[in-house]
A and B are shown apart, each in its own frame.
Chain A
């Protein structure tokens, strides 16, 4: 009974301002283990509003897990993640973190766009419905709202160059087109940050370019993006910051010119010599 009372009191008051408003995402001392396997061992990362951060690193280094903790697809064991100064998965009250209800977590997730390696479009919905579904379910779905959202959704689809596919089903599209629809779907929620989990790894080589082009457009619009990628050239061109991870830690980070061309850490050098 006390817990419920505490929760209600917390909902009534404004959350206390924490974190630095200059940052869209702050990862503070995050640890994560799957059973005995420690995947993240104290990660700190700050991404400014409008910044594009590319995360590189060998497989198993914790890149994807870090990305998935940012929208609470994975719960962290230790540490805290702030998105626009709001703690993800918790509400800070005094010196206590209160776990959010599932409904509140879902509401928070709408602030964080996520683009999957395997697109994960809903195959039984048309492209347009894929884009509309999340904003439609954010409030009471109605025919009128659906119509309004459809207009906006078509704009997002046009922005990534698949406007003519609005009425097709995902399986009728090429991989590159599907991934661009997935980007439009993430955009439709107008998120504070969009996370990309190896967005071109499942694509045929000739389709990679069109997806990178769509991401490049978003970067040009001043959106905050965090991209886990193996496309070193793309990271060099688009990213403001390159983050190199290994063994569940951030080994080195900085502007691409420094990290990619002049790495200070031995492991970064070893990795780059293999992939470049």
Chain B
């Protein structure tokens, strides 16, 4: 009888009179025998349909307008030069993010420290690098040899131990990474600082009262909780840096956007090649967004009473329910079905 519809179930306690029966006038109703008629939402359906028409028109335009020139798009989308350029864009993003957040964490720590010298220096850093437009800063780094033509490592204000020629040490790529990283560090510092400030002061007091060493307090107690606040903003920054790398195209570095410009400069097919770049940017942003979802989930442990299911877990659950229902409705057990079965 496991497949019988809900309405046929006997009351939980069949022998005793139903305790939850409701009296209406002289008639007694057993709630278990009632069926629910769901409310209808015609306007919801209408609005959905109207929106779908607009979307269909747009998709139709994408497919039928010859201006998009999809064959050219297909030809260049996975072309080796484009893939190489894509890889360079990814590298710029990785180096920029690593340098930016490493330095950013140090600056955030400086701003939150009790040392007035470190406080002032880190505040000044953030002030300066947020004030200078990225492109101006990049051009400075690109022309650094004009200011300093050799680079020395040694005792401060004392003798040098090793000297490098700036023009050969700082290539275009290095200049781009330094520029992106330093720019990113100013913003990352503020994001990390915001995250740390969002952690309840009681957590620090509890950690201090338990005698947990300072470093461990930071990495084991404060940072994991700060990450909840840091991550959405940090993901924003990484994605915006990823697309922002296109700005280094002005320095003739063969990243994605530069390469695409070179190609359409040669063959004149501007729109399909811009689409090549666009679709790659979309693909990578999608990947980053998925990574963000799972990293955030990891740090949400303990913050919510029960974890919501991931989209994959949800899909699996629906599939399991669907197959279970399909089995239920197979010919030999088919019966009259109640409204609950259609939910």
Residues on A lying within 8 angstroms of B by beta carbon are: 71, 73, 102-103, 106-110, 112, 114, 116, 118, 120-126, 133-134, 137-138, 169-172, 185, 189
CB distance from B305 to the nearest CB of A (A): 5
Contact of A110 among B211, B299, B302 (CB under 8 A): B211
CB distance from A182 to the nearest CB of B (A): 8
Known: A124-B299, A124-B302, A171-B305. A109 touches B224 (CB 8 A): no
Q: A108 vs B302: C-alpha distance in the bound complex, in angstroms?
A: 30
A236 to chain B, nearest CB (A): 28
Residues of A within 8 A of B221 (CB): 122, 133
Chain A residue numbers with a CB within 8 Å of B210 are: 109-110, 114, 133-134, 185, 189
CB-CB under 8 A from A125, the residues of chain B are: 302
State whether A106 touches B211 (Cβ < 8 A): yes
Tell me how far the C-beta of A95 lies from the nearest C-beta in chain B, rounded to whole angstroms. 28
* B201-239 interface with A by 8 A CB criterion: 202-203, 205-214, 216, 220-221, 224-225
A116 touches B205 (CB 8 A): yes
The answer to whether A133 and B304 have CB atoms under 8 Å apart is: no
Question: Considering the complex of A and B, which 6 residue pairs feature the smallest CB-CB distances, nearest first?
Answer: A110-B211, A134-B210, A169-B302, A120-B206, A114-B209, A109-B211
Give the distance in Å from the alpha carbon of A102 to the alpha carbon of B301 in the complex.
Answer: 31
Which chain B residues lie closer than 8 Å to A106 at the CB level? 208, 211-214
- Interface size of B in residues (CB-CB distance below 8 Å): 24
In the bound complex, how far is the Cα of B305 from the Cα of A276, in angstroms?
A: 39
Q: What's the count of A-B pairs with C-beta under 8 Å?
A: 74
Please give the distance in Å from A38's CB to the nearest CB on chain B: 22
Contact with A along B184-204 (1 / 0, CB 8 A): 000000000000000010110
The docked-state distance in angstroms from the alpha carbon of A133 to that of B208 is 12
- Complex: chain B residue closest to A118, CB-CB: B202
B224 shortest CB reach to chain A, Å: 5
Q: Is B303 an interface residue (CB 8 A)?
A: yes
Within 8 A of A (CB), among B85-111: none
- In addition to A137-B216, A189-B211, 13 A-B residue pairs with Cβ atoms within 8 Å of each other are A71-B209, A73-B205, A73-B209, A106-B208, A107-B211, A109-B208, A114-B209, A120-B202, A120-B206, A122-B225, A124-B299, A137-B213, A171-B302
A124 interface neighbour in B207, B213, B303, Cβ under 8 Å: B303
A185 partner residues in chain B, CB cutoff 8 A: 210
* CA–CA, A108 and B224, complex, Å: 26
B300, chain A: closest CB distance, angstroms: 9
Write the nearest CB–CB distance from A78 to chain B, whole angstroms: 23
Q: How far is the CA of A172 from the CA of B213 in the complex (A)?
A: 28
Query: Are B302 and A116 interface neighbours, CB within 8 A?
Result: no
Interfacial chain A residues near B207, Cβ < 8 Å: 122
Find A73's partner among B208, B212, B224 (CB 8 Å cutoff). B208
Instruction: Decide yes or no: A124 and B225 within 8 Å by CB, A133-B220, A171-B303, A172-B305 being known contacts.
Output: yes
A226–B206 Cα distance when bound, in Å, is: 17
**A28-B296 Cα distance, complex, nearest whole Å:** 50
A133-B209 in contact (CB<8A): no
C-alpha gap A116/B208 in the complex (Å): 12
Cα A5 to Cα B84 in complex, Å, equals 60
